[in-house]
């Protein structure tokens, strides 16, 4: 698929994952690597960046309803059309043998394709997955196919009672991982980056910023001197050290830098 062309695709299946989260699958052949994203055109609304939660001939996005565009997307049914362009951005480096995959909330959608690729390559994957409550845990059965899964919930409704970064630290105290792949709220990513730096474990995080063009032209996705669409969305821990924005500021639709 040419990277800048918009392709109209028919939604094959729409699956309710949790009360505010749905997966939308479609058939489209294009090469994509775990961690890359696409721009999703919601007809009549706007385009939003989304990770591909499923690669292969049948692809999927898993979207949480957080605002006007994702609310509109959630009204789409099987047989409706959306537009997709991409894939864009870099991908996870999966060259090591033993990974801890850490996901917070919908962040699992950005890392699950990496877990699948690692498992297919015979590598070892342990997932630590955190959510506010047990009803928010999504893609759990699929994650379990790729390796051991440990759960943390903020309210203690299932698994470890606390935040995912605390559970990740406990696991890292017990076992040695070659690398950590992470996606979730930026405070969680910031804490994990600090833990990994202290323990000398390489971390790669998938970053989210408001995006318009997705191809490095408009500047809306800036993260200090980086453009997340062009230089990311995957960043190594060492790239994030010392950034003023990481964990603190994002840009709103008007390009204003606002505290998180």
Ligand X SMILES: Cc1cc2nc3c(=O)[nH]c(=O)nc-3n(C[C@H](O)[C@H](O)[C@H](O)COP(=O)(O)OP(=O)(O)OC[C@H]3O[C@@H](n4cnc5c(N)ncnc54)[C@H](O)[C@@H]3O)c2cc1C
Residue ranges binding ligand FES (CB under 6 A) = 211-214, 216-221, 227, 229
Q: Can you tell me which residue has the tokens 């000398």?
A: 200
Nearest distance, CB of residue 221 and ligand FES, angstroms: 3
Binding mask 213-242 for ligand X (x = CB under 6 A): --------------------x---------
> Which of 47/116 has CB closer to ligand FES?
47
Cα–Cα distance, 59 to 51 (Å, whole number): 10
Quote the tokens at residue 65. 């309803």
Distances, alpha carbon 16 to alpha carbons 61, 144, 188, in Å: 12, 19, 26
Cα–Cα distance, 124 to 110 (Å, whole number): 18
**Sheet of 202-206, strands arranged across:** 160-161, 148-153, 124-131, 98-104, 179-183, 202-206, 234-236
Q: Can you tell me which residue has the tokens 């001197």?
A: 225
Per CB under 6 A, the list member of 54, 91, 110, 115 interacting with ligand X is: 110
User: 194 contacts which partner out of ligand FES, ligand X, none, CB within 5 to 8 A by kind?
Assistant: none
Per CB under 6 A, the list member of 17, 59, 60, 64 interacting with ligand X is: 64
Closest CA to 177 of 145, 159, 202: 202
Nearest distance, CB of residue 14 and ligand X, angstroms: 14
User: 62 contacts which partner out of ligand X, ligand FES, none, CB within 5 to 8 A by kind?
Assistant: ligand X
Nearest distance, CB of residue 258 and ligand FES, angstroms: 17
User: 113 contacts which partner out of ligand FES, ligand X, none, CB within 5 to 8 A by kind?
Assistant: none
Residues that bind ligand X (CB under 6 A): 37, 48-51, 61-64, 66-70, 106, 109-110, 208-211, 233
């Amino acid at each position: 698929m040419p990277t800048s062309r918009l392709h109209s695709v028919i939604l094959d299946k729409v699956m309710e994952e949790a009360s505010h989260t749905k997966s939308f699958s479609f058939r489209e052949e294009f090469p994509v690597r775990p961690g890359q994203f696409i721009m999703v055109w919601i007809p009549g609304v706007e385009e939003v960046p989304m990770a591909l939660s499923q690669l292969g001939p049948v692809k999927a996005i898993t979207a949480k309803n957080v605002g006007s565009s994702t609310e509109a997307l959630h009204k789409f049914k099987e047989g409706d059309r959306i537009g997709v362009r991409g894939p864009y951005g870099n991908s996870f480096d999966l060259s090591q043998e033993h990974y801890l995959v850490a996901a917070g909330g919908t962040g699992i959608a950005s890392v699950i394709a990496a877990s699948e690729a690692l498992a297919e390559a015979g590598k070892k994957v342990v997932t630590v997955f955190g959510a506010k409550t047990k009803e928010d845990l999504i893609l759990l059965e699929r994650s379990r196919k790729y390796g051991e899964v440990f759960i943390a919930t903020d309210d203690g409704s299932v698994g470890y009672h606390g935040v995912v970064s605390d559970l990740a630290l406990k696991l890292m105290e017990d076992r040695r991982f070659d690398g950590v792949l992470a996606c979730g709220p930026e405070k969680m990513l910031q804490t994990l980056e600090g833990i990994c730096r202290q323990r000398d474990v390489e971390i790669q995080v998938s970053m989210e910023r408001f995006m318009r063009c997705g191809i490095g032209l408009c500047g809306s996705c800036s993260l200090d001197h980086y453009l997340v669409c062009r230089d990311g969305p995957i960043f190594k821990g060492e790239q994030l050290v010392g950034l003023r924005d990481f964990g603190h500021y994002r840009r709103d639709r008007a390009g204003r830098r606002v505290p998180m």
